Chain A
Amino acid sequence: MASLVPPPGRSEVLSLFRSLLRTSRKFADYNIREYAKRRTIDAFRHNKELSDPTVIAAAFSEGKTQLEVATRQAVVYSLYAPKVKSVMEIV
């Protein structure tokens, strides 16, 4: 399946990476915050060696979708933020 979407440049990928990390910091719950951060880093590492432009474009658009999800969920979860901090944040 040929994609008409040009593959993203290096700076766009890094910008998406940074945006995902910034968004992950906004989660009120420690576990979700850490998960989102870890998941972002792992996914970018995992896809580091991609070379096929179509695959890169697909991964990039998947990342953008996840960024939208994370942005929305950070707001939704903030309405139901945990009332006590995780023990991991206290020590």
Chain B
Amino acid sequence: MAARMALLKHLRVSVVRFAPQNPNFNTPFSSLGNLLQRRRFSDEVRGSFLDKSEVTDRVVTVVKNFQKVDPSKVTPNAHFQNDLGLDSLDTVEVVMALEEEFGFEIPDNEADKINSINLAVDFIASHPQAK
């Protein structure tokens, strides 16, 4: 946890450093305001949304590569348990594999809800930090 906090802290600093300047910002608290402004609007924090069809392709590829899945059954509408025969442990593994593919962490309460490729795609495409 300590290492993680140290890492996060480090990342925050770099976000401020690389953030674009805002020339129109002139208030008495401009230095603080600038900092907040740049933090809030920097690309690294906000991220960018991925294209849905690209997300679908990558999710399908990840699921196909999961060893217990029959690749021919994987469609963009497949349900993990009903269509692919995965149990709850497999589902957790698939969601973890998706985290690795898209480079961000899915919180437990969201991860619990993901039980089909559609839901996974919707969540990832609506998450700014997915890359």
Closest to A10 in B: B88
> CA separation between A17 and B92, bound complex, in Å?
8
> CA separation between A24 and B100, bound complex, in Å?
13
Chain B interface, number of residues (Cβ within 8 angstroms): 12
Tell me what chain B mostly uses at the interface: helix, strand, loop, or mixed.
helix
> CA separation between A14 and B87, bound complex, in Å?
11
Return the contact of B88 from the options A14, A21, A78 (Cβ within 8 A).
A14
Closest to B91 in A: A14
Given A14-B112, A75-B3, A78-B3: A45 in contact with B89 (beta carbons within 8 A) = yes
Q: A48 an interface residue at 8 Å Cβ cutoff?
A: yes
Interface residues in A58-85 by Cβ distance below 8 A to B read 75, 78
> CA separation between A41 and B93, bound complex, in Å?
9
Q: Which residues of A contact B51 (CB under 8 A)?
A: none
Pairwise interchain contact B108-A21, C-beta atoms closer than 8 A:
no
Distance in angstroms from B40 CB to nearest chain A CB is 28
Pairwise interchain contact B96-A21, C-beta atoms closer than 8 A:
yes
Q: B62 an interface residue at 8 Å Cβ cutoff?
A: no
Return the contact of A21 from the options B2, B87, B92 (Cβ within 8 A).
B92
Apart from A10-B88, A45-B89, what are 15 other A-B pairs with CB-CB below 8 Å? A14-B112, A15-B108, A17-B89, A17-B92, A21-B93, A21-B96, A22-B96, A25-B100, A41-B89, A41-B93, A44-B89, A48-B87, A75-B2, A75-B3, A78-B3
What residues make up the interface of A, taking CB atoms closer than 8 Å to B? 10-11, 14-15, 17-18, 21-22, 25, 41, 44-45, 48, 75, 78
What residues make up the interface of B, taking CB atoms closer than 8 Å to A? 2-3, 87-89, 92-93, 96, 100, 108, 111-112
